[in-house]
Amino acid sequence: CGKKNRCVITLVKRIAILNKRTFYLTTPIYYVNDAPHIGHSYTTIAADVLARYKRAKDLDVFFLTGTDEHGQKIQKAAQACNKTPIEFVNGVVDKFKTLWNNLDISNDDFIRTTDERHCRRVEEIFQQIFENGDIYLGEYEGWYCIPCESFWIESQLEEKKCPECKRPVEKVKEKNYFFRLSKYQKSLLDYYEKHPHFIQPESRKNELLHRIKTQIEDISISRSAVEWGIQVPMDPTHTIYVWIDALLNYITALGYNDDMQKFQKYWPANVHIIGKEILWFHGVIWPAILMSLKIDLPCKVFAHGWWTIEGQKISKSLGNAIDPTSIIQSYGTDAYRYFLLREVPFGLDGNFSYNALIHRINSDLGNDLGNLLQRTLTMIEKYFQGVIPEIVDTDDELKRLSKSTCDKVDAEMEELQFSKALENIWAFIGHANKFIEDKKPWVLAKTNTTRTQLAAVIGSLAGAIKDISVFIYPFMPRTAVEIQQQLGILEDNRSLCLEFQQGFKKDTVVRKGKPLFPKIDPLVLENVS
Ligand code: MSP
């Protein structure tokens, strides 16, 4: 009978696993002409936070990032270093991978456009679009911006320069393969109308709509002058335009055309997280390609804003592209992750400054969160010999607040409003700190008659801190672990407890450690920066 029961339980578990809702999210694949900077790390951290959040909600998550390694820009960068393109890109890809590792990025796959799996599938898909009648040979005459790998027509140029990055453009006149983008004008407009939340933030949608209505043209999707790329299958004298090659990563990584099981499991993507400058490619060209292939469109494309550094655009020529590694070496991975997502509402532009970073560390992380933990653990040691008291009070004010915080955080995370989710978490931390001031445990500790009340206050605080560790886990995974270790609920070999409002085991002994975020003297660190 016991064996039968175990079989039934295993079966139920298997069915649950099979029925698990999936969540597929992606970052752009980054150009490897140069080392990663804050901007790249921002998108990847945001995606990681969402991936961790969704996993904690028990979804079957597939989180993809990778590198975009073909094209003229990279060919030129390799030449400038006297390296073959592949030698050159291998070196830069390692830098990206090391950084993701140092930033605790939990991606499930890392696709490189030089991967054999990707190249082979891109050729097949190109052939498929050609056979569907959406690719034709034509003549291209216009302007090309190498840094953006973008084609422009004369009227789009601004003072003869690229309208996107304002750098000089090159005149191009050659026979090219074209994709019939204009054919999809109406379908795209219909899709936008039926799916009003497809593009986020919605404020960015109008620009796109206007451009679809007024400027949509067939696009050149091959180059004869660029060798470093995937060959056009029906014409080896051409390589596939790097943007077509790149966009397809979102389905080649899922094994499209080969391993259809994986593709069917995760596609369509729940969200492509990108920067605002590549919205046209993701919101218009990519959907049209998918329409041509008769594949469902992604559920959402979220375009976030851009970071400047101390008020200036991040650029190679200004030499201000700070390596995130140097920031995390000085201030820690979690502080950096927290700062980027807390400082600026996701979707808007923001400015990075060391002063702002230090202020957030000292105030939000040190004063608010760090002190709450230290004070509470000190009281547990002082009044209860280090054992977390059981809660006997049924009306637990902090527990109620924690529940409502959880609802608010969930609502903000659904909308990718990371800074607002953090604001709500910090409002709760503020309440917990105020709770200490209001309840004055040091007064309750003076007499034995108030011992039960004291236990209720301290037990309630410990519960609140445990919930805070669950709330902050997607943003600051290391700090969540540290808090649970200090609370005595995380043994070294066990994984983090992500159960919200789960009580403590009887006689849990705290292990107060070092302060989470020791105060930084802004003057000393200004010199380091
Ligand atoms: N390779 C293309 C994307 C192809 S996706 C199919 C590309 N690569 S990129 O290296 O230029 O990276 C662009 C992405 O990096 C942006 O979309 C954005 O996510 C991030 N950022 C780069 N600079 C940035 C800032 N200054 N601020 C914020 N994010 C920015 O475009």
Is 273 touching ligand 1 by the criterion CB < 6 Å?
no
Cis peptide before 268 (omega within 30 of 0): yes
Determine which residue's CA is closest to atom 23 belonging to ligand 1. 39
525 pLDDT band (50/70/90 cuts)?
Answer: low
The mean-pLDDT minimum among 72-76, 318-322, 347-351, 473-477 falls in 318-322
| Pocket probe mutation, ligand 1, options 50, 248, 274, max atoms within 8 Å of Cβ | 274
> What is the whole-number distance in angstroms between the Cα of residue 73 and the centre of ligand 1?
14
Tokens of 464: 């609140």
Best residue for ligand 1 mutational test, from 29, 32, 42 (most atoms within 8 Å of Cβ)? 42
Q: Which residues contact 410 (CB under 8 A, 6 or more apart)?
A: none
**CB distance 250 to ligand 1 below 6 Å:** no
Ligand 1 centroid to residue 356 C-alpha, Å = 23
Quote the CA–CA distance of 462 and 451 in Å, as a whole number.
16
Which of 273, 281, 306, 323 is the best mutation target for the ligand 1 pocket, counting ligand atoms within 8 Å of the beta carbon and taking the most?
A: 306
Q: Counting atoms of ligand 1 from 1, which one is nearest the CA of 30?
A: 10
Sign of the dihedral defined by the CA atoms of residues 280, 283, 288, 290, in that order: positive
Atom of ligand 1 nearest to the CA of 32: 10
Tokens of 388: 């977390």
Pairing of strands 170-179, 222-223: unpaired
- Taking residue 255's Cβ as centre, other Cβ atoms within 10 Å add up to 17
Q: What is the pLDDT averaged over residues 319-330?
A: 89
Which atom number of ligand 1 is nearest to the Cα of residue 68? 1
Residue 274's pLDDT is what?
A: 98
Q: From ligand 1's centre to the CA of 37, what distance in Å?
A: 10
Indicate the range of 151-165, 175-189, 195-209, 342-356 predicted with least confidence.
Answer: 151-165
Atom of ligand 1 minimally distant from the CA of 308: 26
Question: Which of 13-17, 115-119, 456-460 has the lowest average pLDDT?
Answer: 13-17
Confidence tier at 323 by pLDDT (50, 70, 90): confident
Sign of the four-CA dihedral 275, 278, 283, 286 = negative
Of 303, 311, 388, nearest to 347 by C-alpha is 303
CA 121-76-166 angle, 5° bins: 100
| Per-residue pLDDT band at 529 (split at 50, 70, 90) | very low
Answer for the pair 252, 119: CB distance below 8 angstroms, yes or no: no
Task: Check: CB of residue 73 under 8 Å from CB of residue 149.
Answer: yes
Phi-psi region of 303 (alpha: psi -120 to 50; beta: other; left: phi over 0): beta
Phi and psi dihedrals of 163, rounded to 5?
A: -65, -20
Can you tell me which atom of ligand 1 is nearest the CA of 43?
A: 19
What does the pLDDT read at residue 1? 47
Tokens representing residue 74 in the block: 């990279």
**What tokens does 438 get?**
């209001």
Does 318 have pLDDT greater than 80? no
Mean pLDDT of 340-352: 97
Which protein residue's CA is at the shortest distance from atom 30 of ligand 1? 39
Which residue's CA is the nearest one to ligand 1's atom 8? 30
Return the minimum-mean-pLDDT range out of 273-277, 314-318, 411-415, 455-459.
314-318
Mind listing the pLDDT tens digit for each residue in 374-432? 999 999 999 999 999 987 766 789 999 999 999 999 999 999 999 999 999 999 999 99
pLDDT tens-digit map of 512-524: 999 999 999 876 6
CA 383–ligand 1 middle distance (angstroms): 53
Does ligand 1 have an atom closer than 6 angstroms to the CB of 280?
Answer: no
Q: How far is the CA of 399 from the centre of ligand 1 (A)?
A: 41
| Ligand 1 pocket check for 30: Cβ under 6 Å | yes
Query: Picking from 209-218, 245-254, 282-291, which range would have the lowest pLDDT averaged per residue?
Result: 209-218
39 lines ligand 1 (CB under 6 A): yes
Q: Is residue 85 in contact with ligand 1, taking CB distance under 6 Å?
A: no
Q: Is the pTM of this model over 0.85?
A: yes
**What is the H or E stretch that residue 142 is in?**
strand 135-145
| d(C-alpha 111, C-alpha 117), whole Å | 9
Residue with the bigger pLDDT between 373 and 309: it is 373
pLDDT number for residue 81:
93
Ligand 1: which of 252, 277, 316 to mutate, most ligand atoms within 8 Å of CB? Answer: 277
pLDDT score at 2? 55
Residue 15: is its pLDDT beyond 60? no
Protein residue whose Cα sits closest to atom 5 of ligand 1 = 28
Distance 317 CA to ligand 1 centre (A): 17
More confident residue, 274 or 496: 274
Report the pLDDT value the prediction gives residue 154, as an integer from 0 to 100. Answer: 83
